[in-house]
Structure 1
């Protein structure tokens, strides 16, 4: 019996046994909806986990691994479950058990494991890799290869990977933000201590109270490909009387490792982040749903680490999404911006992991005159799920296709979402489908609104 899986089942045994097969999770599960296979449902996978634990099913059996691999890990089932089964923790333990057995299906899976181990765990190597990715993106290489259809001829997976990188570009997003400096796109150093931008005085209630200092978790993908969102987050929080510091030495949150079953790698990163943010007790702000949910789960990840368990618990309690931090008081309203119809797609881990439901929408409501169009099934996964779109392209494409159809129904030209994986997944899908759509973070729209309102000092250090 697996040590990882047995530990997870022991920790969550009561909740696991509380699963009464009521079926409320079925319609919340994208893979079950698309396959109709009970084994592709949360309760079906839990049954398979129990079968492995009780040695009624071999760990290496395709009857087990195939259905565990096919799970998106969106955690929508947790929101639907009346018994509070922590399915996400069980899924990660099951995948750790599979990875520990040495089974990694296909070349893509083996490459993913190698990259997570030999690149993601080494910050200097990772920064170099992201610098190369930015250079490739800004040189227009992905767009050129996509236009010529050469990538599709070589491999559909390569085509989609290039579309993912291409969709992270800010070229189409900041056309109305002339005062935002180029340093937003090309950070010179990661994990630096930043000085919040100067903010003009105003009569908003948020500026009347005591300043609420916070620390910003920059993230690896966010700082590597979406540095503009981190800078916008700093400006928007400062404009709402919450200046932030960015501690040096922070590393990847470990979400990709945990989702892939590399819990040891995730724990290494977790300990380093806990040490990095140990100097104060201020809230830790995230702007990526996947990162926030992972950071909030450190208490579970390190629950059996005698040295870090208590510190991890305290760390997890400090995690706030930028929308939640702004929502603690009334979000300062900005000016009207020149924008098209806008819709919002909820990040699964922001919604189901951090329970941020209304807070992101409150950010959008603070943008004066924004034409908002509700998105059908905005709480359903887009199919990105970390690197799932590359490991399970067929299922990912089916889930994404339904999402794009709903987006098209809204008539929106702008889609806001609070996670880089969702941003790139939807952006890439729209790009390849010929759908005219700009994807951005809600804080970017609010930042643009604040620029228009003149909240920022002209001489600020971006």
Structure 2
């Protein structure tokens, strides 16, 4: 049975330092939707004072951004408390869940997301929809109105997805242009390689240009982040073990990704497998080798060939900043690009409201958080918003669309800007 992280709840002294850092407390204004409120509810559930139904709502509406951990004076392990609550709630729900619903959830988390062939087929379908003109026809005929509002909103701002022919052009090995500094195993991710495969390819070419041997191994699988956030611990651990085994076979200096959310999952595999002694040391070695692309590029020299004369602001990924603790590296890479005019985004560390699939399943609450974020964007009026994570990328793109700024504000991944400045 899933065990709530009861002992960890006592580290919280209910001081309230977390309140200004919590996006859902800011938008909802309720104690139950603050970190300390949720911690208290977990404690009460563990003591049998409330049911899992009473715990479900507040926990489900937590973004999991973990900004509260950064400001907490007593180092409360909020992430551990949150994940234990999600595991507990999901286990209890499954006891009452209709068989068809359980089968569908199991299919999504166990079969669909980790299945590279299924994801490629989905990506090819989206590319076909875009490139044959079907999307334009659907919009002209207003056929997308049949979709729920959440899906309709994101359909509008889908990136240009690469078709099968472009995907085939990617190499499995990119030899360093210079004498190799590092041997890199590149982690492509699931959603990232389906929706933003061109960014992955540009990432590898940047690493190659900076002096790295870059390899894409076929044995890698989904990082498990979406499953973990849904309380599906069994499949999360299974995926973690598969990735550890896959990358152990190679002599890489680092395992690199350009996905803030996946990176946060990968660097915590040792915590995920802490209760399995035969895996913990292996997981720790794996986690220590996983870094964001900005960490490696920051140690090397990129040959910039073009100035980017644009006004730029930066929306950090919560999981990059709060979990991976990589705050300086992406910022330094951004500031190194010749020609940019950088403007600080007010309250940039506040979550944008994406949080995995939070913006799909909790659309209204996510939009409330996004509205707050766009108020800050309006104060600086940039030409470009830079992100480091596909979820943040889509969320900020939706924010720009909702504000009517699509013709004057561009949303890009930092890799796209670096690649452009290097002539890639």
The normalised TM-score by structure 1 is: 0.84
Aligned to 1:195: 174
Higher relative contact order, chain-length normalized (CA < 8 Å, sep 6+): 1
Q: Secondary structure at the match of 1:213?
A: strand
Q: Secondary structure at the match of 1:412?
A: coil
Q: CA deviation at 1:126?
A: 2.6
Q: What aligned pairs does 1:255-404 form with structure 2 within 5 A after superposition?
A: 255-279=225-249, 280-327=251-298, 329=299, 331-332=301-302, 334-404=304-374
Instruction: Choose from 407, 415, 425 the match for 2:377.
Output: 407
Cα distance in 2 for partners of 1:143, 1:291 equals 32
Task: Judge conservation of contact 1:26–1:41 (CA < 8 Å) in 2.
Answer: yes
Aligned to 2:155: 162
Q: Secondary structure at the match of 2:27?
A: helix
Task: Judge conservation of contact 1:335–1:449 (CA < 8 Å) in 2.
Answer: yes
Task: Judge conservation of contact 2:174–2:208 (CA < 8 Å) in 1.
Answer: no
Q: Secondary structure at the match of 1:355?
A: coil
**For the structure 1 residues 134 and 303, does the alpha-carbon distance in structure 2 shift closer, same or farther, using more than 3 Å as the test?**
farther
* 1:346-405 alpha-carbon deviations (Å, 9 max, x no partner): 001011111111211111122111122221121111111111111111110111112122
The question of 1:232 aligning with 2:223 is answered no
The question of 1:449 aligning with 2:421 is answered yes
Cα distance in 1 for partners of 2:403, 2:102 equals 26
Aligned to 2:2: 4
Instruction: Choose from 393, 399, 403 the match for 1:423.
Output: 393
Aligned to 2:44: 51
Cα distance in 2 for partners of 1:252, 1:239 equals 27
Task: Judge conservation of contact 2:35–2:68 (CA < 8 Å) in 1.
Answer: yes
Q: CA deviation at 1:153?
A: 5.7
Q: CA deviation at 1:427?
A: 1.0
Q: Secondary structure at the match of 1:151?
A: helix
Q: How many residues align?
A: 419
**For the structure 1 residues 92 and 148, does the alpha-carbon distance in structure 2 shift closer, same or farther, using more than 3 Å as the test?**
farther
Q: CA deviation at 1:268?
A: 1.4
Cα distance in 2 for partners of 1:66, 1:391 equals 12
* 1:406-442 alpha-carbon deviations (Å, 9 max, x no partner): 2233221211100000101111232243212221111
Aligned to 1:186: 166
Cα distance in 1 for partners of 2:411, 2:119 equals 25
* 1:163-213 alpha-carbon deviations (Å, 9 max, x no partner): 35x2x227xxxxxxxxxxx889931288x72224x63x7xxxxx7xx6122
Cα-Cα RMSD: 2.7
Cα distance in 1 for partners of 2:351, 2:337 equals 26
Q: CA deviation at 1:307?
A: 3.1
Cα distance in 2 for partners of 1:109, 1:400 equals 31
Q: Secondary structure at the match of 1:252?
A: coil
Q: What aligned pairs does 1:124-135 form with structure 2 within 5 A after superposition?
A: 124-135=117-128
Cα distance in 2 for partners of 1:254, 1:125 equals 16
Aligned to 1:20: 13
Cα distance in 1 for partners of 2:169, 2:39 equals 44
Residue ranges of structure 1 left out of the alignment (5+ in a row): 171-181, 202-206, 457-462
* 1:238-266 alpha-carbon deviations (Å, 9 max, x no partner): 22222221112111111000011111111
**For the structure 1 residues 394 and 113, does the alpha-carbon distance in structure 2 shift closer, same or farther, using more than 3 Å as the test?**
farther
Task: Judge conservation of contact 2:173–2:213 (CA < 8 Å) in 1.
Answer: no
Q: CA deviation at 1:109?
A: 11
Q: CA deviation at 1:105?
A: 9.5
The question of 1:438 aligning with 2:410 is answered yes
The question of 1:91 aligning with 2:82 is answered yes
Cα distance in 1 for partners of 2:137, 2:319 equals 33
**For the structure 1 residues 112 and 281, does the alpha-carbon distance in structure 2 shift closer, same or farther, using more than 3 Å as the test?**
same
**For the structure 1 residues 385 and 141, does the alpha-carbon distance in structure 2 shift closer, same or farther, using more than 3 Å as the test?**
farther
**For the structure 1 residues 29 and 219, does the alpha-carbon distance in structure 2 shift closer, same or farther, using more than 3 Å as the test?**
same
Q: CA deviation at 1:324?
A: 1.4
Task: Judge conservation of contact 2:189–2:222 (CA < 8 Å) in 1.
Answer: yes
Q: What aligned pairs does 1:37-186 form with structure 2 within 5 A after superposition?
A: 37-59=30-52, 61=53, 63-102=54-93, 114-142=107-135, 144-146=137-139, 149-152=142-145, 154-164=147-157, 166=158, 168-169=159-160, 186=166
Cα distance in 2 for partners of 1:418, 1:108 equals 34
The normalised TM-score by structure 2 is: 0.91
Residue ranges of structure 2 left out of the alignment (5+ in a row): none
**For the structure 1 residues 231 and 185, does the alpha-carbon distance in structure 2 shift closer, same or farther, using more than 3 Å as the test?**
farther
Cα distance in 1 for partners of 2:418, 2:146 equals 40
Q: Secondary structure at the match of 1:320?
A: strand
Cα distance in 2 for partners of 1:26, 1:441 equals 30
Q: CA deviation at 1:145?
A: 3.8
Q: CA deviation at 1:27?
A: 0.7
